[in-house]
Every structure is written in structure tokens, then in C-alpha cells.
Amino acid sequence: MYILECADGTYYTGYTTDLERRVSVHNKGKGARYTRGRLPVAIVFSEAYATKSEALRREAEIKRMTRREKRELVEL
């Protein structure tokens, strides 16, 4: 599970099994539609989970957070 900061200062949250590859895909403009118009992106936070379902649960939890809560998480 990861959080990217986009060039416009917004956050994007997702999950992957290969973080470096996924960030590269985002920065090539072939990732999520949200990030395509907000390049470049940079990893600002990541957490590893044993299962996909755990990662997806955490991703959903973070997506429900306010921008302020996300910023606090990133700054830990």
C-alpha cells in the first residue's frame, strides 16, 4: 500500500506488489487516470502487508481520511 504526492500537491493512494515499478508506470503517464494529469509523482509513504486483502483494507481506510489526516500520516 502506498501514498504518492502528485506535482499539484494532492495525494494518491494505491496498492501494488512492486512499488518501484508501479511508480515508474505512474510517472510514464500510464498509471491511474488521476495521476496522469498531475505528473510527476513521488512516493511519500508505504506500508507492506502479508496479503492483498490486508493492503486493500488499509488503502480503503486511508482513502476515507481527510487531507489533513493523510498529511499527518505522511509526516510521521
Query: For the residues 7-32, what does the mean pLDDT come to?
Result: 96
Query: For the residues 55-65, what does the mean pLDDT come to?
Result: 97
Q: Does the pLDDT at position 2 exceed 90?
A: yes
Q: What is the pLDDT of residue 76?
A: 81
Cα distance between residue 36 and residue 30, in whole Å: 7
| pTM score | 0.92
For residue 7, report the phi and psi dihedrals to the nearest 5 degrees. -60, -30
- Residue 12 bridge partners (DSSP): 4
Q: Where are the domains of the chain?
A: 2-74
CATH of domain 2-74: 3.40.1440.10
Per-residue pLDDT tens for 22-42?
999 999 999 999 999 999 999
What cell does 37 get? 494529469
- Locus of grid cell 502506498: 2
For residue 3, report the phi and psi dihedrals to the nearest 5 degrees. -125, 130
